Amino acid sequence: MLKLVISQMSNQPIYEQIKNQIKKQIIEGSLKAGDGLPSIRVLAKELNVSVITTKRAYEELEKEGFIVTVPARGTFVAGIDREKISTLGVQEIENDLKAIVQKAKILGVDLKKLLETIERLYKGEEGQR
């Protein structure tokens, strides 16, 4: 069963919130290969967002291989290769970290402080400094 929570206050675009939450549920296994997803229109109505928003989320998920759309049948969770997904995830994180490291260098943040910050955030200690 698809469970999505959309925040209008988030800096993250709504289509990305939808995409990332569906992707997470597929990776975690709460959505399994062959499971049906709501149509873009139904999902848009349920979330009270534009059809264009849900369409973009589904298009990106399909491009990334997480879902498949079968004409006249619907949209379904694709069979995924866990190893491939893990590799893609690591590549995505590495790309994000490259930008963060570059920014840290520009701002003069040393490696030790950067690693401490990453460790604190990873452990969920956002409020502590």
Q: What is the tens place of the pLDDT at every residue in 8-65?
A: 998 999 999 999 999 999 988 899 999 999 999 999 999 999 999 999 999 999 998 8
Q: 92, exposed or middle or buried, with CB in 10 Å at 0-12, 13-18, 19+? A: exposed
User: Over 70: is that where the pLDDT of 69 sits?
Assistant: yes
Residue 4 one-letter amino acid: L
**Complete DSSP assignment for 23-57:** HHHHHHTSS-TT-EE--HHHHHHHHT--HHHHHHH
Tell how far CA 102 is from the center of its chain: 23
Domain 14-77: which topology? Arc Repressor Mutant, subunit A (1.10.10)
CB 10 within 8 A of CB 45: no
pTM above 0.85, yes or no: no
